[in-house]
Chain A
């Protein structure tokens, strides 16, 4: 008798499972057909870093202070300051980002005190060669200009700048 109930219960559990998969079969697929369709990403989505420029003058906001370079745990950023021009403004002469090293942690963007560096939300980061993964100042500025709609970084909590500025001593 026990065996019979066990068999019936077992058979019933299989029928229940079949019922569940059948109900699921009636639902539409949930697939997002990337790359034909694209996910909608929140504005704070990180992606790769890029340089922002002033929307009015079009000039880069970067002052070549080097905090990002010091904050980066992976030494992905290499920046050289330009010699001071007649307007006494500090500018970077070169700014290279090695995406082959970058782990998209966003510490550089948090550390930037001038809102000149941001995580620009770009997520297609593959390249055919390693050289493809190294981005120059101009390329980063171009990516930053494409990021216009989110040019204003989200408000940062108090104390953020102070802490994250403290990179390698």
Chain B
């Protein structure tokens, strides 16, 4: 076999592995979210399908959703409506390319890994706008516009917070960033940066308290009001795939990635990632939702200046040695 063909084959296998991992992991995270919320609310959560803890519930739900009738509303923009969930899922899967699960366990160690991650995660909002526009529903449209306005308010701070880490590590490659944290995790050097990144991450993932695009008490279900069955399931899976990818990126940038004593690196990586995820879930089941303009004002008036100052100070300190 020639070399490019072999590489293509290996890339294909890696891609299939990532795809399988993303889907299974998303199903697990949905189950986890339901269990965490149930514990917080003194409920049981799913218990019947897959006893004793209902661990097969989400798989059953996914199967049920796959068999449901595929409804495209009359007057919908068919192409955008159909493509939107796929775009969201693609953007979620693409993020996994640069996530280092362990030493050597990365799909592709890009030189511009962080920049790539920032660019790919920005794709998600296109899908939401497509979904909102394509649905021909007013609630969906308002939800889509909200997600667009939300994106411009947090994206800059998110990237600035990532940049301060890049300055510290002196590299845009995710693997090199993790290796640069062998002595001290960047969260110790960048507590403010981590806070900014985490808040902006919650906004990017459309999670409470920033779940404005799908605010169900206001917009019914926001951009995915008209979605049902398989397409809705893909939205849902992509949401949780994004949650994992975003948290994994937070671990890579701030929490030392796979590094840690005693346990194998992969275990450390997953432990940290799930910790970040559980904190995000905990926040979601504690806080009310902010208003769109409050998020914008938080993004521009608080996060952005703080991120700029953080970046400036970091740059100065690194320059000064």
Query: Do any beta carbons of A and B sit within 8 angstroms of each other in the complex?
Result: yes
A14 touches B287 (CB 8 A): yes
B41: chain A residues at CB < 8 Å are 24
Q: How far is the CA of A31 from the CA of B45 in the complex (A)?
A: 10
Closest residue of chain A to B285, judged by CB? A21
Give per-residue flags for B284-318: 1 if the beta carbon is below 8 A from chain A beta carbons, else 0: 01110000000000000010000000000000000
A31: chain B residues at CB < 8 Å are 42-44
Kindly identify, within residues 155 to 181 of chain B, every residue whose CB is under 8 Å from any CB belonging to chain A: none
B64: chain A residues at CB < 8 Å are none
Contact pick for B286, options A21, A29, A30, CB 8 Å: A21
B304 to chain A, nearest CB (A): 14
A125 to chain B, nearest CB (A): 24
A33 to chain B, nearest CB (A): 7
B287 touches A30 (CB 8 A): no
B16: chain A residues at CB < 8 Å are none
A28: chain B residues at CB < 8 Å are 42
Closest residue of chain B to A17, judged by CB? B286
A27 interfacial by beta-carbon distance below 8 Å: yes
Interface size on B (CB < 8 Å)?
Answer: 14
B282: chain A residues at CB < 8 Å are 18, 21-22
User: Known: A7-B302, A18-B282. Is A24-B40 also a contact (CB below 8 A)?
Assistant: yes
Q: How far is the CA of A17 from the CA of B208 in the complex (A)?
A: 14
- Taking chain A's interface residues, is the majority helix, strand, or loop, or is none over half, making it mixed? helix
B188 interfacial by beta-carbon distance below 8 Å: no
Contact pick for A29, options B44, B287, B302, CB 8 Å: B44
B283 interfacial by beta-carbon distance below 8 Å: yes
- Taking chain B's interface residues, is the majority helix, strand, or loop, or is none over half, making it mixed? loop
B217 to chain A, nearest CB (A): 19
A126: chain B residues at CB < 8 Å are none
A150 to chain B, nearest CB (A): 32
A140 to chain B, nearest CB (A): 35
B40 touches A29 (CB 8 A): no
B44: chain A residues at CB < 8 Å are 29, 31, 33
Kindly identify, within residues 5 to 40 of chain B, every residue whose CB is under 8 Å from any CB belonging to chain A: 38-40
Give per-residue flags for A137-156: 1 if the beta carbon is below 8 A from chain B beta carbons, else 0: 00000000000000000000
Q: How far is the CA of A34 from the CA of B42 in the complex (A)?
A: 16
Q: How far is the CA of A28 from the CA of B39 in the complex (A)?
A: 8
Q: How far is the CA of A7 from the CA of B301 in the complex (A)?
A: 12
Q: How far is the CA of A18 from the CA of B209 in the complex (A)?
A: 13
Q: How far is the CA of A27 from the CA of B43 in the complex (A)?
A: 10
Contact pick for A24, options B42, B283, B287, B302, CB 8 Å: B42
Q: How far is the CA of A27 from the CA of B38 in the complex (A)?
A: 11
Kindly identify, within residues 137 to 161 of chain B, every residue whose CB is under 8 Å from any CB belonging to chain A: none
B283 touches A29 (CB 8 A): no
B38 touches A29 (CB 8 A): yes
A29 touches B42 (CB 8 A): yes
Kindly identify, within residues 57 to 87 of chain A, every residue whose CB is under 8 Å from any CB belonging to chain B: none
A25 interfacial by beta-carbon distance below 8 Å: yes
Q: How far is the CA of A98 from the CA of B302 in the complex (A)?
A: 65
Give per-residue flags for A7-41: 1 if the beta carbon is below 8 A from chain B beta carbons, else 0: 10000001001101110110111110100000000
Interchain Cβ contacts under 8 Å between A and B, 5 examples:
A17-B287, A21-B282, A29-B38, A29-B44, A33-B44
Q: Which 7 A-B pairs have the closest CB atoms?
A: A21-B286, A31-B44, A17-B286, A25-B39, A29-B44, A21-B40, A30-B42
Additional pairs, 18, CB under 8 Å, beyond known A18-B283, A21-B286: A7-B302, A17-B286, A18-B286, A20-B286, A21-B40, A22-B282, A24-B40, A24-B41, A25-B39, A25-B40, A27-B42, A29-B42, A29-B43, A30-B42, A30-B43, A31-B43, A31-B44, A33-B44
